[in-house]
């Protein structure tokens, strides 16, 4: 049996394989509301054969958006916009749907990537970002507003409110975004956090707010539904957050019953120097798994099915998350299953597509309203 296509259980959620669709920002929402693009995009990926689909980083408040086009879930309108998309997915796929809860912090109020990604000035329709400290992401940017006690409470409550809305929508699991230089990562990293109160300075203090947010959403989300956390295992900058810090943070999350740690890296500083190569972040996932025993998700230029199989089979990680590879080839799990002699889920409308030498590829799977 293929390790990549072996089942796994996370609390009350059973996954048919170890392939995860990574959250990918689309910058195509309107006022935080999902659009027809999200129906097409998420619908396509829901039929990929992966076991779990992560909805893109979803802002918990308007000021927490990276760009004006970010998806959000903070009011009745943003909640209503997601309902038909989730209903369509549920009708035609058994894929587990996870939402990544996010706040951009000091990286908020930016243009979409294809328009340059630079900060939008308040005078040009942007907004003043908030962060642990009044330190801009780039030297030429407007400094963010340092969150005071009231601001910390507001943000924490926004995460809780979004978690409750996600549950009402029938979302199967949550992932707390504490990576890629966004707000919770900013609290963790000494590069972005230079506070002198109980939320800054020591590692224990810098972990305090992210752990408070995790505790709050875990308490607000049903106990039978899993909650994971995405982390940046290294800032790739001297003096920044590193793998030993990540392990310490993961151990604190373990005490709180976290269901997985999604191990990425970078994002908190434009000075980062990342040596890109296939699987370059897998050693981080392996280190966290070995040190804590937690479920880990490996990410980062994993495109070859045999490479993915080896990562799972060797125990370096428990799941593989794909992003760009699935945009380029939305049927990547089908091809991987064919190569590894496994079966994969597919809608009956597509069963006739399987090659003559792969008659067992789709197995005997029935679909319909779940």
Provide mean pLDDT across the span 246-271.
97
Q: Could you tell me the two tokens for 57?
A: 């980083």
Contact predicate 262/321, CB 8 Å: yes
Q: Which of 182, 214, 280, 350 is catalytic?
A: 182
Task: Give me the residue label for tokens 């490996």.
Answer: 298
Which distant-in-sequence residues (6+ apart) come within 8 Å of 101 by Cβ?
58, 60, 159, 162, 163, 166, 174, 175, 176, 177, 217
Helix residue spans in 94-193 (DSSP H): 149-168, 183-188
Q: What is the pLDDT of residues 117-159, one digit of tens each?
A: 999 999 999 999 999 999 999 999 999 999 999 999 999 999 9
- Give the pLDDT score at 177: 98
- For residue 265, CA distances in Å to 194, 276, 368 come to 21, 11, 39
pLDDT value for 370:
36
CA distance 351 to 112: 38
pLDDT digits (tens, 9 = 90+) for 176-225: 999 999 999 999 999 999 999 999 999 999 999 999 999 999 999 999 99
* Strand partners for 173: 98
Cα separation, 4 vs 16, whole angstroms: 10
Active site residue 182: yes
299, 275 Cβ separation under 8 angstroms: no
Q: How far apart are CA 273 and CA 73, in angstroms?
A: 33
How confident is the model over 359-370, as pLDDT tens digits?
Answer: 788 865 444 433
Residue 237 tokens, joined: 């900058």
Going by C-alpha positions, the residue among 231, 55, 62 that lies closest to residue 130 is 62
Task: Provide mean pLDDT across the span 292-297.
Answer: 98
List, in order of start, the domains of the chain with CATH numbers.
8-358 (3.20.20.70)
Q: What is the pTM of this model?
A: 0.95
CA-CA-CA-CA torsion sign (291, 253, 235, 72): positive
Rounded Cα distance between 86 and 63, Å, is 25
What one-character-per-residue DSSP string does 83-101 give?
A: HHHHHHHHHH---EEEEEE
Q: If you search the block for the tokens 């927490």, which residue do you land on?
A: 64
């Amino acid at each position: 049996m293929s390790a990549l296509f072996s089942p796994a259980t996370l609390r009350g959620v059973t996954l048919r394989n170890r392939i995860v669709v990574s959250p990918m920002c689309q910058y195509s929402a309107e006022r935080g509301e999902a659009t027809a693009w999200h129906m097409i995009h998420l619908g396509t990926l829901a039929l990929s054969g992966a076991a779990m689909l992560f909805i893109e980083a979803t802002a918990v408040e308007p000021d927490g958006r990276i760009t004006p086009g970010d998806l959000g879930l903070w009011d009745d309108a943003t909640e209503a916009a997601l309902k038909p998309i989730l209903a369509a997915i549920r009708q035609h796929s058994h894929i587990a749907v996870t939402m990544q809860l996010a706040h951009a912090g000091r990286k908020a109020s930016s243009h979409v990537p294809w328009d340059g990604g630079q900060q939008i000035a308040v005078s040009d329709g942007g907004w003043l970002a908030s962060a642990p400290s009044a330190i801009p992401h780039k030297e030429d940017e407007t400094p963010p507003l340092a969150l005071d006690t009231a601001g910390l409470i507001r943000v924490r409550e926004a995460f809780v409110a979004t978690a409750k809305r996600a549950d009402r929508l029938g979302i199967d699991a949550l992932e707390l975004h504490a990576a890629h230089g966004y707000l919770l990562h900013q609290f963790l990293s000494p590069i972005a956090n230079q506070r002198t109160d109980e939320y800054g300075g020591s590692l224990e203090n810098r972990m305090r707010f992210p752990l408070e947010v995790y505790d709050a959403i875990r308490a607000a989300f049903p106990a039978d539904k899993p909650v994971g956390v995405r982390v940046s295992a290294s800032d790739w900058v001297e003096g920044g957050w590193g793998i030993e810090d990540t392990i310490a943070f993961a151990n604190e999350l373990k005490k709180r019953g976290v269901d997985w740690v999604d191990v990425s890296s970078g994002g908190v500083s434009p000075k980062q120097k990342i040596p890109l190569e296939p699987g370059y972040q897998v050693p981080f996932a392996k280190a966290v798994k070995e040190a804590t025993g937690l479920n880990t998700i490996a990410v980062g230029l994993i495109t070859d099915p045999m490479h993915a199989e080896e990562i799972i089979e060797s125990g370096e990680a428990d799941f593989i998350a794909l992003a760009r590879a699935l945009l380029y080839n939305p049927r990547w799990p089908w091809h991987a299953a064919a190569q590894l002699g496994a079966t994969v889920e597919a809608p009956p409308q597509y069963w006739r597509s399987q090659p003559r030498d792969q008659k067992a590829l789709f197995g005997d799977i029935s679909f319909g309203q779940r």
